[in-house]
Amino acid sequence: MSKIKIFPDPIIDYDFENVYRPADDTYLIIDYFKVHIDSDFFDGIPLETIRNILDMGTGTGYIALSLQIMKAKIPKFNPNIYASDILEEAIHLSKHNEKLNNFEREITFINSDLFNSFPITLKHSFDVIVFNPPYLPSFNMMQKDGNKKNIDYSWNGGELGFETFLRFLSEARSYLNFNSNSRIYYVCSSRINLNLLNDLISQKGYERTYLNKIHVFLEDIYLYRLELKCN
């Protein structure tokens, strides 16, 4: 087992008006992965057992591309990388960024509202799902003109801030690989009712593990790992 010391950051073009750019929450996820991957294990999972990874809500493609860079650097780490987003603009931008990083057609992109447009062949196939969801309450940041803009999908998690994430969790069970140590990585904000969210996560059959946090302006952003509870 040996640590990989250097993972270059992907080259990213932004679309500030429509697509969420990489920010502190993005880096919180990737920095954790960089520290917790080595030549044999990804956060404790044997590399050779990881077949498929999904970056849900990929935006610019930063997380998917970071994973693709790790894949290029580590011989045993050879999963299929998938990236999805509800916005066509995000998919087009992510594909453009894939080309910028010389990974053309190595990542599979899916334009989908969560799992709605995923092919049935992908059910129970993902060993790792990463989701940087919209996690702010809608009443905190509603557009003044009342019309929902594309960029709103990146922050508007619903009235409580986590309705989108709960819908994701309900659907994700059908896409996690039950035959492996499958897990979900996600971030959330201290601006929401964390105790209520944690109770609802448990009710949906997941075990939660705290991994890290950062403080940004008036909020803390937390990184967690979820695994399915044993029946």
173/78 Cα distance (integer angstroms):
23
123/143 Cα distance (integer angstroms):
36
Q: Residue 157: what pLDDT?
A: 45
69/55 Cα distance (integer angstroms):
14
Q: How confident is the model at residue 186 (pLDDT cuts 50, 70, 90)?
A: very high
Q: Rounded to 5 degrees, what are φ and ψ at 215?
A: -105, 125
226/116 Cα distance (integer angstroms):
21
Rg over alpha carbons for the chain, rounded to the nearest Å, is: 17
161 within some domain: yes
b/e map 91-108, b = 16+ CB within 10 Å: bbbbbebbeebebeeebe
15 within some domain: no
117 within some domain: yes
Task: Indicate the number of domains in the chain.
Answer: 1
Q: How confident is the model at residue 195 (pLDDT cuts 50, 70, 90)?
A: very high
pLDDT digits 0-9 by tens, 35-82: 999 999 999 999 999 999 999 999 999 999 999 999 999 999 999 999
CATH of the domain at 211: 3.40.50.150
Predicted structure pTM score: 0.90
87 touches 19 (CB < 8 A): yes
Vertex 212 angle, CA 58 and 39, to 5°: 70
7 within some domain: no
Percentage with pLDDT > 90 across the chain? 71
Going by their DSSP bridges, the two strands 128-131 and 45-46 should be labelled as unpaired
132 touches 164 (CB < 8 A): no
Is 146 in a helix, a strand, or coil?
Answer: coil
207 within some domain: yes
Task: Give the sheet arrangement for strand 80-85, strand by strand.
Answer: 108-111, 80-85, 52-56, 128-131, 183-189, 219-228, 206-216
Full domain range(s) for residue 163 = 24-228
16 within some domain: no
44 within some domain: yes
78/46 Cα distance (integer angstroms):
11
Q: Residue 143: what pLDDT?
A: 47
pLDDT digits 0-9 by tens, 138-168: 654 444 445 555 545 455 545 666 888 999 9
